[in-house]
Amino acid sequence: MELTRRHALAGAAGIAAAPLLPAVPAGAAAPAADRQAPSFYRYKVGDIMVSVVSDGKNVFKLEDAFIPNAKRDDVNAALDKAFMPRDMVTIWFAPLVLNTGGKLVVIDTGNGALAKASSKGANGLFADNFVAAGFDPKNVDMVVISHFHGDHVNGLLTAEGTPAFPNAEVLVPATEWKFWMDDGEMSRAPAGRMQGLFKNNRNIFEAALKKKVTPYEWGKEIAPGLTSVETVGHTPGHTSYVLASGSEKVFIQSDVTNNPDLFATNPGWHAFFDQDADVAEQTRRRVYDMIVAERLQVQGFHYPFPGLGNVVKDGSGYRVVPAPWNPVI
């Protein structure tokens, strides 16, 4: 320690004794930037190329109703622990693009082009980032939808209301389709958010897409290497996936959890977005116990971008360990 301190003091003395250089104005000031570079990240699962394409994020004030069965002080403590602002909630959005070698497959589509304007560029970025990643919407073979919330289905349409992927087959969970297309369920929906969801889904799937969808069942390989998994609770037909190629697997969780620093850490907390909160909690615990036991990597739609990580048991909850960034695919 004495040697280090002596060297430090000698260095400081040398700097003090050095002649001052004349101040020279900067020759070229860098332009101010207020946007990130287009955000996408690639990795491989066996022979399948996965591109995580960011749709941006949403930040909003924490309301007591957001996690109705948790105390506000406890939620803020969880935010503090994650080095996130108190009384604010951050949610990221990360649709996927799979290149299986024979098919180009999109999984979920983000908040849609109209959200880009309404959020002032904070989200609704999937379409732009999709093109920046080198993809052409006309070349998409399949669009797989996990559930019918706006941040997953709105990107099925362009800002003009036309199909965003004009040549793609749109695959939807059969149970999810049945619920949202049921006139009786729509008539019984509470006013407010639920009625808005029904209206939005009818606009997308009936008015725009003319019901040209392919319903799929759980436990089936619905695209090359992609098997659907029942994970209900968040919505009646909420679906996750196992992506497998060769000896490698990734669990694509969709919305089993929202922000993991809140809902993986505290799996008993009930998110405002969960349609059946008790069932969603049971699903969350069942799925995360399975992920831990099988040491599966997880791709989270609402994880911090790019959303790939591992899960470990941590006390009564779980902790997501982000996968190391890799410049080589």
Asked if residue 67 has pLDDT above 70, the reply is yes
- Residue 278: give the domain boundaries: 37-322
Q: Place 36 in a pLDDT band, splitting at 50, 70 and 90.
A: confident
**10 is a domain residue:** no
C-alpha 206/C-alpha 212 separation (Å) is: 8
Alpha helix (H) ranges present in the chain? 2-17, 72-81, 113-118, 126-132, 150-153, 174-180, 183-188, 193-202, 260-263, 277-294
**194 is a domain residue:** yes
**234 is a domain residue:** yes
Classify 263 as helix, strand or coil.
helix
pLDDT score of 25: 58
C-alpha 79/C-alpha 83 separation (Å) is: 6
**28 is a domain residue:** no
Identify which has the larger pLDDT, 15 or 75.
75
**301 is a domain residue:** yes
**26 is a domain residue:** no
Tokens standing for 59? 């930040």
Q: Could you report the per-residue pLDDT of 154-197, keeping only the tens digit for each?
A: 999 999 999 999 999 999 999 999 999 999 999 999 999 999 99
* Residue 249 CB coordination number (10 Å): 17
- Domain CATH code at residue 171: 3.60.15.10
Q: What's the total number of domains in the chain?
A: 1
DSSP string, 87-115: TEEEEEE--EEEE-SS-EEEE---S-HHH
Question: Reduced to 3 DSSP states, what percent helix, strand and coil does the chain have, rounded to the nearest 5?
Answer: 30, 25, 45
Model-wide pTM > 0.85? yes
pLDDT score of 26: 56
Q: To the nearest whole percent, how much of the chain has pLDDT over 90?
A: 88
Torsion angle in degrees (nearest 10) through CA of 35, 36, 39, 41: -170
**16 is a domain residue:** no
Q: Could you report the per-residue pLDDT of 229-272, keeping only the tens digit for each?
A: 999 999 999 999 999 999 999 999 999 999 999 999 999 999 99
**141 is a domain residue:** yes
* Residue among 223, 226, 236 at smallest CA distance from 283: 236
C-alpha 145/C-alpha 105 separation (Å) is: 11
